[in-house]
Chains A and B, each alone.
Chain A
Amino acid sequence: MSDPVVDNAVPSGNSSVAIPTDISGQILDLDEDDDLEVFSKGTTLTEGSSFNASMQTSPASLINQYKFEEEEDGDADTKDIFVTVDNPESIVTAIETFVTYRVMTKTTRSEFDASEFEVRRRYQDFLWLKGRLEEAHPTLIVHPLPEKFVMKGMVERFNEDFIETRRKALHRFLNRIAEHPIFSSTDDFKIFLTAESGELTSHKKQGPGFLSRMGETVKAVAASVRGVRNRPEEFTDMQEYVEAFTQKIGSLDKVSQRIVREKKEHLEELKESGPIYTLWSQSEEELAEPLKRMAGCLDSCCKETEEQVKELNDHLIPVLHEYVLCTETLKAVLRRRDNIQADFEAKTEALAMKKADRDAESKVLSLAWDSLVGRSPEEVKQQKQQKLKGEIKEMRVELDKMEDRMEWANNALKSDWTRWQKVMRTDLRSAFVDTAERNVNYYEKCLAVWESFLHSQRTEAEGNGKVDSS
């Protein structure tokens, strides 16, 4: 079953060949019959909650597999695949320089030929994977990748910090994919994790041609221009939520970055004060010791502040940033869903018009032209009616498929939306909890510094103010 055409409504699990995305509702290739059966109306689609995602083709086995909601709890126990991204290396060729990362996989899944894999991947490869997943599942939410370029600041692509930040983000990306019930069982994901570089390259080449991709884009634009008529309320609610969330997460991102900036500037000033106390201590006798200690305390606090800033940069900022990127994904997903519905609506209209044509035709007598051509009016009418009937039948079949596709997409989105919200909540909650805890640690360390200073001075005082290191 390795036919090259797959449709949105069908998980791309089966294909080992690159497949063009059918965004605008092209006629389903009927070779996908097996899969189609599963997803036709009335059989497997329940209230949008369960979702079949399997790599096997047999319809029966597709039913009752992998229900979305049951994924959530006990992830740790049922986790059967572990992915890490590490060990960045610069590769220099005659044409270009780029960075590769080591991707290691440990898994007990039967679909995999072995239990451990180690490959090297570059950023482009991740981009490819993401694109594939999005093509195959336009209304599922793919975790964002780190950005291609960094606009602000002259951060070079080969700067250590940049590479490390990117590595961490890539690691998170792959892990999110691995945790996703549908994405993690796609062929593309498996190939990404296991294929040697040559294999991957040839697999990538089998992607949709430029022209067909162009065609899809044009259709997508047309669909979005058409607009959606009767968007179900829940999707409008989602839209509103996404808009509001975008604003909030954007603000949080900005606020957090501003805090980092201000802390850094405060740190700069703080760094200057220690040395001044040291300098002062050189002019003093009795005061020399407390002044030196003071300098020591300030230096310690500086170190703690530096640590705190670093942790903010390493932990909180990247997470917030990822969710800013997420909002783009969410908007795109909602857009694509709308397009699917718009297509369906357009097709529905077209069918209605065709039917109207048919009804109209039945009332019209043949024109003079037909008699000229030598056909009896009845014959002509019969022919026309037959033709229309055929067209209408085709359109109806297609419409049914589109309706299935739309329902499929809607349900997929609804499920994934719930899933995404849970993940978002967990991610942001732990990011903020961790930040709060680190701040507590920071203050506790500084507290200890100053308390020891106080202690030393009091001990001094008790020792009759004799200058001595206690």
Chain B
Amino acid sequence: MADSGSEEIAVIGNTDLTPSESENNLKNTMVEKGTSLLKKMEISVAEAEKRTGKNAVNMQETYTVYLIETRPVDAASEGTNPVPDSLWRRYSEFELLRNYLLVAYPFVVVPPLPEKRAEFVWHKLTADNMDPDFVERRRVGLENFLLRVASHPVLSTDKIFYSFLTEENGWKETVFETGFQAKADSRLKALNATFRVKNPDKRFAEMKHYGDELQSVISQLLRVRARAADRLYGVYKVHGNYGRVFSEWSAIEKEMGDGLQSAGHHMDAYAASVDDILEEEEHYADQLKEYLFYADAVRAVCRKHELTQFELEMAAQDLISKKQQREELATGTVRTFSLKGMTSKLFGQETPEQREAKLKMLETQIEEGEELVKERKTECNEYVKSAWVDIERFKEQKDHDLREALISYAIMQISMCKKGIQVWNNAKECFSKM
């Protein structure tokens, strides 16, 4: 069921960015976009819970489920605030939904899911899927995923998506009934195959290249960021030792005692402040991760174009060779080498009836071939059109979102600096009373 490695995905948790003005920016943007779905209903992933149950091989397992809440928009604005509809889903069901969407809408850059396993962690975070911080970030990421799908002009109209949000039971069966599974397997095969395309659309080739670059650069950033976070943590925490030593030292001093003691408290506060700082930084990392995984989705769309182009070229190639065969048969000249031609040379010519039959067959094949080529050409053109529309949409979204991410990073740095100024000014005052 897995797609070409694009399931290890992360999404942002903008909503927890505190003094940031892009706190709910992304959410608002998506809602403002106002697909008809989002105009009707509010979607959120409100909670996460642990469950235990028997799995496919009848073994006990612990897993997490997420509560999806939907609420009609009008009701909320009327202020009646009814109880929202809700259902529980686990991560694997989200994966199933996404795989379905990938197959059903190959020309769409499908939004990614949050990471399956925590990657690019720095030492404080465990890679444990049961870790509450990880679960919380995943909850936020899943909500983001749903909102992204719900705000997509094409995806938001999908019925399977709608029933994912509204029908708890039997949804899985409905998905499998679409028969997407078979297509999923052949899609996977095709996307991983190597083939050479003669005339790809340049734009798609460039976009694919861009996807590669984006993935490489974001991976590097995330790696460096994780290491830097580790180091920053160390710097702040060691200051806690100042707090301890100042406190002990103040006990043996007379006049210096008070100043030292209070300075020590500020050092402790400084050391403690790093936890919040790094939590906010984690959000930035999540934003980058989303686009890391988006890069994969972009590449998939480009690859699909190559595939359709390739199939068109194959069909065209096949048609040409069939036409050539017909010509040879009709004129009796053998321009191309064929075993039949050799054997007929060796063992005498064919009878006119045989030739007639062959010609007829070829004609049929050529007719079919021309149909196929026409079909594929249409397919290709339509694909190019709709895929490029979505890519343009994606580019705009990406530019906006990443700019917002950079801005929120700056805001976070500003907040960190302000805290630092405050703490050290306080400490300075205490020191001067030493």
Contacts and interface: CB of A to CB of B under 8 A. Distances in A.
A255 B245 contact: yes
Contacts of A290: 403, 406
Interface in B387-434: 398-399, 402-403, 406-407, 409-411, 413-414, 417-418, 420-421, 424-425, 427-428, 431-432, 434
Contacts of A432: 263, 427, 431, 434
B130 interface: no
A259 B252 contact: no
A165 interface: no
A443 B421 contact: yes
Contact of A276 (B221, B406, B428, B434): B221
Given A248-B252, A283-B217, A432-B434, A446 B242 contact: no
A3 to B, nearest CB: 44
B227 A269 contact: yes
B417 A444 contact: yes
A128 interface: no
A241 interface: yes
Interface string A252-267: 1001001100110110
B420 A450 contact: no
Interface residues of B, number: 49
A287 B431 contact: no
A291 interface: yes
A255 B238 contact: yes
B431 to A, nearest CB: 4
Contacts of A277: 221
Contacts of B225: 273
B434 A425 contact: yes
A218 interface: no
A352 interface: no
A447 B424 contact: no
Given A262-B238, A446-B413, A440 B224 contact: no
B176 interface: no
Contacts of B239: 259
Given A248-B249, A269-B231, A450-B413, A425 B224 contact: no
A261 to B, nearest CB: 9
B181 to A, nearest CB: 36
B229 to A, nearest CB: 9
B250 to A, nearest CB: 9
A283 B434 contact: no
Contact of A248 (B217, B245, B409, B418): B245
| Size class of the A contact interface (CB-based, 8 Å) | 35 or more
Contacts of A436: 424-425, 427-428, 431
A240 B184 CA distance: 78
A258 B221 CA distance: 27
B406 A294 contact: yes
Contact of B428 (A286, A297, A440, A457): A440
Contact of B234 (A262, A272, A291): A262
Given A269-B224, A450-B413, A429 B432 contact: yes
B162 interface: no
Contacts of A433: 428, 431-432, 434
Interface string B227-266: 1100110110011011001001100100110010001000
A350 interface: no
Contacts of A276: 217, 220-221, 224
Interface in B313-353: none
Nearest to A264: B231
A263 B320 CA distance: 69
Contact of B235 (A259, A273, A444, A447): A259
A242 to B, nearest CB: 10
Given A429-B434, A436-B427, A457-B406, A241 B252 contact: yes
A297 B239 CA distance: 26
Given A265-B234, A276-B221, A425-B434, A255 B424 contact: no
Contacts of A28: none
A428 interface: yes
A248 B261 CA distance: 13
Contacts of A294: 406, 409
Nearest to B213: A283
B210 interface: yes
B214 interface: yes
Contact of B410 (A255, A268, A429, A450): A450
A270 B234 CA distance: 14
Interface string A424-454: 0100110011001101101110110011011
A262 B414 CA distance: 22
A322 to B, nearest CB: 17
A225 to B, nearest CB: 29
Contacts of B224: 269, 272-273, 276
B406 A259 contact: no
B227 to A, nearest CB: 5
Interface string B155-180: 00000000000000000000000000
Contacts of B214: 280, 283
Contacts of B407: 454, 457
Contacts of A255: 238, 241-242, 245
Given A265-B234, A266-B231, A432-B434, A251 B245 contact: yes
Interface in B249-295: 249, 252, 255-256, 259, 263
Contact of A269 (B218, B228, B403, B421): B228
A273 B399 CA distance: 20
A247 B249 CA distance: 9
A266 B245 contact: no
A279 interface: yes
A244 interface: yes
A447 B418 CA distance: 7
A8 B6 CA distance: 84
Nearest to A432: B431
A82 interface: no
Contacts of B427: 432, 436
Contacts of A440: 420-421, 424-425, 428
Contacts of A112: none
Contacts of A266: 228, 231-232, 234-235
B207 to A, nearest CB: 11
A207 B411 CA distance: 68
B245 A453 contact: no
B403 A279 contact: no
Nearest to A286: B399
A245 interface: yes
Given A283-B213, A437-B428, A450 B417 contact: yes
Contacts of B431: 429, 432-433, 436
Contacts of A265: 231, 234
Contact of A297 (B228, B403, B410): B410
Given A266-B234, A280-B221, 8 more contacts: A245-B249, A252-B249, A265-B231, A269-B224, A287-B398, A436-B425, A440-B428, A454-B411
17 contacts: A248-B248, A259-B235, A262-B234, A263-B235, A266-B232, A276-B220, A283-B210, A290-B406, A425-B255, A428-B256, A429-B259, A436-B431, A440-B421, A440-B425, A442-B420, A443-B424, A446-B417
Interface of B: 210, 213-214, 217-218, 220-221, 224-225, 227-228, 231-232, 234-235, 238-239, 241-242, 245, 248-249, 252, 255-256, 259, 263, 398-399, 402-403, 406-407, 409-411, 413-414, 417-418, 420-421, 424-425, 427-428, 431-432, 434
Interface of A: 241, 244-245, 247-248, 251-252, 255, 258-259, 262-263, 265-266, 268-270, 272-273, 276-277, 279-280, 283-287, 290-291, 294, 297, 425, 428-429, 432-433, 436-437, 439-440, 442-444, 446-447, 450-451, 453-454, 457
| 4 nearest A-B residue pairs (beta carbon) | A436-B428, A266-B231, A269-B228, A443-B420
